Chains A and B, each alone.
Chain A
Amino acid sequence: MAPQNNNAAPLRVRNLTRRFGENTVLHGLDLDLAPGSFTALLGRSGSGKSTLLRTLAELDPAPEGARLELPRPVAVAFQEPRLLPWKTVWQNVSLGLPGRDARPRAEAALEEVGLSHRVEAWPATLSGGEAQRTALARALVRSPRLLLLDEPFAALDALTRIRMHALVLELWRRHGPTTLIVTHDVDEAVLLADRVLVLEHGRIAEDVAVELPRPRRHADPGFAALRRRLLEALGVSLEEAA
């Protein structure tokens, strides 16, 4: 088991502006995430959500004028699992871990995501769900205080996605990192997060608290209302969505 993560820190972003040439992708964006909260970030493609995530992960350097307070360590799971094909599952999970106990730690994380039986497997032999579980284990094993998920389930089939949703919630509950999931799937956002943000034109256009009890079901009346509101914020009418 990875150690309990009790000291989650808040995330604070002020005045984040990012331009690519003429194109302003993020526009003086402010963002606060409570310690240990689970937030979903919705937005149409091109709304800047991936750019925001890359900045939070420090994959891109922080632009001038912005102030960032980011909980560390950070871990990311991407849409493609990004496993190194020439390393076995446990080697991928323990990648970059310092110390001699890397393997037992990797094995513990793999056990948590239900992959104890694939510890020695090559990534080429994994199913899509197994590869994404490995990516989650690789994120978990670092006991992150900030967990960033970049459309991690978009490429999975519907059944596998349901399982992964349950797994992510379980891991979040157990380890408590401040979690931000970027998605374009309104249902996924409402199903998982306590708070849903809609990003539009580089600003947060909508900030909705989700106060439905877990486990959440699509059939809940509250669910449908939230879904409608978020779809409207995204500029999709219900006739189109149906």
Chain B
Amino acid sequence: MSDTQAVPAPRGLLPGAAAGLRRPTLRRSALPPKLRRFLSPLVLVLLWQAASMAGLIAPRTLAAPTAILASAWELTLSGELPSHLLVSLGRVLSGLGIGLSAGIALALVAGLSKLGEEIVDAPMQMLRTMPFLALVPLFILWFGIGETPKIALVALGAAFPVYLTLFSGIRGVEPKLVEAGRIFGLDRRGLIRHVILPGALPSALVGLRYALGSAWLSLVIAEQINATAGIGFLVNDAREFLRTDVIVVGLLVYALLGLGADALVRLVERRALAWRPSLVKE
């Protein structure tokens, strides 16, 4: 809570500074600062609405905000949006499951053993320089145009960020801490469990956030491949009929899913990294 009116400036002390502190409360306190941030986007949407109503923006270029809201409501009520959403979520979840498991497993192998690093790391570092979305044509040849190439693409998008950050996190653990652990009687397993993995966790969670972002991006691309269901299909289908309102609804759903995923990782971070100085002080 930051209600600026609640704390009156002390009288008599530094009158100039006190007046300076109080000034903003007079004009702007009608809205709390958090809401104030939404003011300018809101004005933009209102301008957009006004321009649409005045006929300055044709519906086939961009539908009016009210039209978008109306079709979002309609699509939700008809069950169309939820069912497509479930299909897309299913793709992301299975792709993430595969990609994260593979990325974590490879990073553990490469991070925890010299031999593993020699075998795994070089090819991974080479592959990561390639924009993985360029693999779409090959994936279609290998996996056809069904669900498999879509899930594979999401998995690939998620695997690399997690691999890279977990591997470098493991290698970046302070050697002095490992040494201390060794002196105080930890064996290799104990070191991995108590020192190396917890030390690599902050980096790995950053990777997880990247992986989620990358997974959404992969989903959007994957759903352009001859999809018969999913948010991507909804958007493509709408394009055929010049339904810009439905297209924007699809975009909004993608955006909301991405935001939700990010919030989820932040929550995990707050719990798992409670020891970090930045969080400790809160």
Nearest-CB distance from A110 to chain B (Å)? Answer: 15
**A84 pairs with B280, CB closer than 8 A:** no
Q: What is the interface of chain A mostly: helix, strand, loop, or mixed?
A: loop
**A142 pairs with B179, CB closer than 8 A:** no
Tell me, yes or no, whether A172 is within 8 Å of chain B by CB: no
Nearest-CB distance from A108 to chain B (Å)? Answer: 17
Interface with B: A75-83, A161-169, A194-202, which one?
A: A75-83
**B180 pairs with A85, CB closer than 8 A:** no
Tell me, yes or no, whether A20 is within 8 Å of chain B by CB: no
CA distance A187 to B180 in the complex (A): 28
| Total of A-B residue pairs, C-beta within 8 Å | 57
Nearest-CB distance from B14 to chain A (Å)? Answer: 32
Nearest-CB distance from A54 to chain B (Å)? Answer: 9
Residue in chain A with minimal CB distance to B202: A86
Tell me, yes or no, whether B79 is within 8 Å of chain A by CB: no
Residue in chain B with minimal CB distance to A94: B184
Residue in chain B with minimal CB distance to A85: B275
CA distance A85 to B198 in the complex (A): 9
Nearest-CB distance from A211 to chain B (Å)? Answer: 33
Q: What mask results when residues 126 to 153 of chain A are scored 1 for a CB within 8 Å of chain B, else 0? A: 0000000000001000100000000000
CA distance A123 to B194 in the complex (A): 15
Tell me, yes or no, whether A125 is within 8 Å of chain B by CB: yes
Q: How large, as a class, is the contact surface on chain A?
A: 20 to 34
Which residues in window 54-96 of A have CB below 8 A to B? 57, 59, 74-76, 78, 80, 82, 84-88, 95-96
Which 7 A/B pairs are nearest by Cβ-Cβ distance? Answer: A96-B185, A82-B180, A124-B277, A96-B184, A86-B198, A122-B275, A86-B275
Residues of chain A within 8 A (CB-CB) of B186 are 95-96
Residue in chain A with minimal CB distance to B273: A86
**A59 pairs with B199, CB closer than 8 A:** no
Residue in chain A with minimal CB distance to B198: A86
Nearest-CB distance from A191 to chain B (Å)? Answer: 26
**B277 pairs with A82, CB closer than 8 A:** no
List 13 extra interface pairs beyond A85-B276, A122-B280, CB under 8 A: A74-B183, A76-B180, A82-B180, A84-B177, A84-B181, A84-B198, A86-B273, A86-B275, A87-B198, A96-B181, A97-B185, A122-B275, A123-B275
The listed residue with most B CB atoms (<10 A of its CB), out of A78, A80, A87, A96, is A96
Contact of A82 among B177, B274, B280 (CB under 8 A): B177
CA distance A97 to B280 in the complex (A): 27
Residues of chain B within 8 A (CB-CB) of A138 are 184
Nearest-CB distance from A22 to chain B (Å)? Answer: 25
**A57 pairs with B183, CB closer than 8 A:** yes
Residues of chain A within 8 A (CB-CB) of B276 are 85, 124
Q: Given A78-B180, A86-B275, do A95 and B194 touch, yes or no (CB 8 Å)?
A: yes
**B199 pairs with A86, CB closer than 8 A:** yes
Which residues in window 256-279 of B have CB below 8 A to A? 273-277
CA distance A13 to B275 in the complex (A): 42
Residues of chain B within 8 A (CB-CB) of A86 are 198-199, 201, 273, 275
Residues of chain A within 8 A (CB-CB) of B275 are 85-88, 122-124
Tell me, yes or no, whether B176 is within 8 Å of chain A by CB: yes
**A84 pairs with B194, CB closer than 8 A:** yes
Residues of chain A within 8 A (CB-CB) of B195 are 84
CA distance A84 to B182 in the complex (A): 12
Residue in chain A with minimal CB distance to B184: A96
Q: What mask results when residues 33 to 63 of chain A are scored 1 for a CB within 8 Å of chain B, else 0? A: 0000000000000000000000001010000
CA distance A76 to B185 in the complex (A): 12
Q: What mask results when residues 164 to 182 of chain B are scored 1 for a CB within 8 Å of chain A, else 0? A: 0000000000001101111
Contact of B181 among A57, A75, A88, A95 (CB under 8 A): A95
Nearest-CB distance from B203 to chain A (Å)? Answer: 13
Tell me, yes or no, whether B15 is within 8 Å of chain A by CB: no
Residues of chain B within 8 A (CB-CB) of A57 are 183
